[in-house]
Amino acid sequence: VNVTLDYFDYQSDFYDVYQVHCVPRYHEMTAMATGFLREALTAGTSRPQQSEPNWLESPWPESIAASPRILDLGCGTGNTSLTMSRLFPGAHITALDGSEGMIARAKDKLAAVGTGNADFRVADLSRPGWSGALADQPFHAAVSVLVLEHLPFDAYRTCLSETMKLLEPGGWLITVEGYEAPLGIELFYREMARLELQAVKEGRITRARLDEMKALSAANEKHYFSSMSQRQEWWLEAGYSPVEFIWQYYCVAVLVGRKPLY
């Protein structure tokens, strides 16, 4: 039994209100991850004039942006998938989550905007082998927003390797993750507490619902934080190169890494 997934099931009908109003910089982190994806998928095969290496140089033509295959790992209610389907209307998006409730919301959300080019999977990323069912069609990118910090460290590392196998050579893994940073965590949660108070005042959420959610989260929503340098080391060990942090806010960062071309 994965109690974190039970918690997200409970939270799914209320998730968007909470994320949008109470999670510091939620839009910005998604925008950074999907903005990087846009750069990576539109880089094309041509090098710029100067002699420096072009780290974004792509094995695919620019036209790949017309129909990329993208995996959303831990899609939740589908916010990142929705942003990606707007950026790339011809994309084929596979949206995966361990919570049936979340997947149901993601389906509704993408259907409401008329995105037919998505499929949905329920799978637990902490169970090795989850990637087997997806192995037939390699992805140009895998994106994962606020998910991988819920995996125990062994499962995290296995997940990196399984995702690598699902990527095309030159494909990208792009994640938003919470990481270990004692001061950063305190500052992040202080800001979140202020936003929660504000949301209660504005009538977006009742005090009772917030208290119930907090109690369930404290009991069931597991986080496994490790340092940024530890995360980077694990990505490099799994074979991603380069691996870089491209954005950070207190204890949350956007990490990008690439499957080598050869």
Ligand X SMILES: C[S@@+](CC[C@H](N)C(=O)[O-])C[C@H]1O[C@@H](n2cnc3c(N)ncnc32)[C@H](O)[C@@H]1O
Where do contacts with ligand X occur on this chain (CB under 6 A)?
A: 2, 4-5, 8, 19, 74-76, 79-80, 97-99, 102, 124-126, 145-147, 150-151
Q: Which is nearer to ligand X, 148 or 243 (CB)?
A: 148
Phi, psi for 26 (deg, rounded to 5): -55, -45
Closer by beta carbon to ligand X, 102 or else 243: 102
Residue-wise DSSP of 66-86: GS-EEEEET-TTSHHHHHHHH
Q: How far is the CB of 43 from ligand X (least distance, A)?
A: 24
Of 175, 173, 176, residue with least CA distance to 162: 173
User: Which C-beta is closer to ligand X: that of 93 or that of 146?
Assistant: 146
Q: Residues 81, 110: contact at Cβ < 8 Å?
A: yes
**Least distance between ligand X and beta carbon 241 (Å):** 25
- In Å, how far are 10, 104, 221, 254 from 24, measured between CA atoms? 22, 25, 18, 14
Nearer to ligand X, 68 or 76 (CB): 76
- CB 220, min distance to ligand X, A: 11
Residue 252's contacts (CB-CB under 8 Å, 6 or more residues apart) are 25, 29, 146, 176, 177, 178, 179, 188
Report the nearest approach of ligand X to the CB of residue 126 (Å): 4
The residue number with the shortest CB distance to ligand X is 76
* CA within 13 Å, CB half, 173: 28
For 94-122, give one letter per residue: b (16+ CB within 10 A) or e.
bbbbbbebbbbbbbebbeeeebeebebbe
Backbone angles phi, psi at 44, to 5 degrees: 70, 180
Nearer to ligand X, 43 or 155 (CB): 155
Report the nearest approach of ligand X to the CB of residue 48 (Å): 33
Identity of the residue, 58 or 99, whose beta carbon is nearer to ligand X in the bound complex: 99
Please report how close the Cβ of residue 97 comes to ligand X at its closest, in angstroms.
5
Cβ 242 to ligand X shortest distance, Å: 24
Closer Cβ to ligand X, 125 or 213, answer by number: 125
Q: From 159, 157, 155, select the one nearest 142 (Cα to Cα).
A: 159
